[in-house]
Amino acid sequence: MQKIKVAVYGLTTEGYSLASKMVEKASVTIVDDTLQMAMDLNPATVKGNPTLQELVGGESLIGLKPVSQVLTEARVVFFTPKLRKTGDESVTEASGKMREVAKNVTKGTTVVNGLPVGVGGNNDNIALIEKQTGLKIGENLNYGYCPLRPGGEPGVVACVANMKESGSLDDLGIRSSYGTINATEIDYVSTVLNESTSVATEIELMRKAKGSKPAVAGKSTAERYIDDLASHVYDLTAIQASEDVGEPLTYLAVAAIKSLENHVRYIVDETRDLLRELQLKASRTRVLVAWSVDRYEMRADRIKTAENLVERLRDYVTDVKHAQMSAGREEVIDSYKHNIAIVCSQRDLEWMKGLKSSSRASELSLLRATPTLQRG
């Protein structure tokens, strides 16, 4: 029996994770939407390259095909593009990539959108696809929505609108739900806003409470880092774009994004304070932005925020490095300088603690990029 042809549009961590789950049951091709090239995947390739970084880093690219051919032949297309713009431009970029997909899909195809949208955002995608193809969703095309968390596991539920070939996603091992897409949008938007506004509130209140120890600081069950808020910036931008100006949801999304921008400034200010308190000369100091960012994930916001933080810090210290766990100790720590590490996620905290304990001959101070900007 011939396997169903599946195209994953986007050479991203999320896309590769989806492809890896389907490769035993389908003929899977993954599309590099940046280089506009497509490659076949098979179980042996995926098994030998469990992560996308290993796949791209090796010489295992096989079965290269034209993107248009892959999309035309596919019966199911998963939309997991690699976005490299931020702000409103990222929403425009996503729309442009969806348009490229729509140009090539044919009758009977199921398009599953893995990129989060605001409430009503999928209606815009459906209208775009119908305009490009001249076909009708629910009649001779199918559409699904499966919002993927940044760099996380693929969603187990695809919410598909009026899908007639109901078995195709289930056959791929993707559990499908035939409720309304609008309900799925609202659930995801609710989750993003709850998480983001919670972190944003902490950031702003802790800034107001600088120098004191308010009871609110002890209410969090876990520390939240700049990584947690930056991972939602695209989602918040999409929520803002889907709402009319002046709508309360717009204010919530904009406030959370603004709080991230403020937090970058607060971190820089705290770093300057730390330099003064330790009486460190800028020329004898190295500042590390310890933030292990996946450069293959769909959203560009964590990468861009890290770059922004590095650039702002360079206004005060020349030697500033973006440090990731893949680097060796000698690449990160300067034994002849005092090192200040701004730790941007929980996993990077553990990494930096390990370096500190094994580098007793080097001076290493830690500053956690949390709402409380805790030191050590």
192-251 pLDDT, tens digit each: 999 999 999 999 999 888 766 555 544 544 689 999 999 999 999 999 999 888 899 999
Averaged pLDDT for residues 97-123? 94
- Single-letter residue type at 111: V
Q: Average pLDDT in the 340-351 region?
A: 96
Residue 370 or 2, more confident: 370
Task: Please report, rounded to a whole number, the percentage of residues in the chain having pLDDT higher than 70.
Answer: 88
For residue 18, what is the domain's CATH number? 3.40.50.720
Are 193 and 100 within one domain?
no
214 lies in a domain?
yes
Residues 159, 192 within the same domain = no
| Domain assignment present for 317 | yes
Asked if 339 and 192 sit in the same domain, the reply is: yes
In the predicted model, what is the mean pLDDT of residues 315-320? 96
Buried b (16+ CB within 10 A) or exposed e, 116-133: bbbbebbebbbeebbebb
Residue 319 lies in a domain: yes
Residue 374 domain flag: no
Please say which residue of 179, 202, 227 terminates a domain: 179
| DSSP reduced 3-state for 50 | coil
Mean pLDDT of the chain: 89
Do 225 and 127 share a structural domain? no
Domain shared by 80 and 220, yes or no? no
- Quick one: pLDDT at residue 64? 82
Contact predicate 39/61, CB 8 Å? yes
pLDDT surpasses 70 at 82:
yes
286, 289, 290, 294 alpha-carbon torsion, rounded to 10° = -140
Tens-digit pLDDT profile for residues 246-294: 899 999 999 999 999 999 999 999 999 999 999 999 999 999 999 999 9
Torsions phi, psi for 164 (to 5 deg): -85, -40
Backbone angles phi, psi at 307, to 5 degrees: -65, -40
Q: Which of 145, 179, 213 is the last residue of a domain?
A: 179
Q: Are residues 160 and 198 in the same domain?
A: no
Residue 373 lies in a domain: no
- With tokens 């409430």, the residue in question is 119
Whether 256 contacts 229, CB under 8 Å: yes
In a domain, 376, yes or no: no
Mean pLDDT of 129-134: 96
9 within a domain of the structure (yes/no):
yes
Whether residues 13 and 40 fall in one domain = yes
| Distance between CA atoms of residues 60 and 99, nearest Å | 29
| Band of residue 87 on the pLDDT scale cut at 50, 70, 90 | very high
Are residues 217 and 124 part of one domain? no
pLDDT of residue 100: 96
Within 10 Å of residue 352's Cβ, how many Cβ atoms? 23
In this prediction, residue 215 carries a pLDDT of 56
285-290 and 338-343 strand pairing: parallel
Q: Determine the pLDDT at residue 166.
A: 46
**Separation CA 295–CA 324 (nearest Å):** 11
CB 177 within 8 A of CB 171: no
Residues 329 and 223 placed together within one structural domain of the fold: yes
Q: In which domain, by residue range, is 332 found?
A: 185-368
CA separation for the pair 329, 326 (Å, rounded): 10
> Of the residues 164, 179, 194, which one is the last residue of a structural domain?
179
* pLDDT tops 80 at residue 179: no
145 lies in a domain?
Answer: yes
166 and 204 belong to one structural domain: no
Q: How confident is the model at residue 156 (pLDDT cuts 50, 70, 90)?
A: very low
Q: Which residue has the higher pLDDT, 287 or 138?
A: 287
Residue 139 is encoded by which pair of tokens? Answer: 């009649």
* Among candidate residues 50, 27, 22, 49, the one with its CA nearest the CA of residue 38: 27
pLDDT (mean) for 83-88: 94
CATH number of domain containing 323: 3.40.50.1400
Question: Are residues 293 and 152 located together in one domain of the fold?
Answer: no
Q: How many helices (H) and strands (E) does the chain have?
A: 14, 13
Higher pLDDT, 330 or 203: 203
Its pTM stands at 0.91
Residue with tokens 């600088």: 210
- Residues 193, 338, single domain; the answer is yes
Task: Tell me what the mean pLDDT of segment 23-39 comes to.
Answer: 93
**Over 80: is that where the pLDDT of 309 sits?**
yes
User: What's the structural domain count of the chain?
Assistant: 2
> What pLDDT was estimated at residue 357?
85
Question: HSE-up of 85 (CA within 13 Å, CB side)?
Answer: 14
Mean pLDDT of the 311-325 span: 96
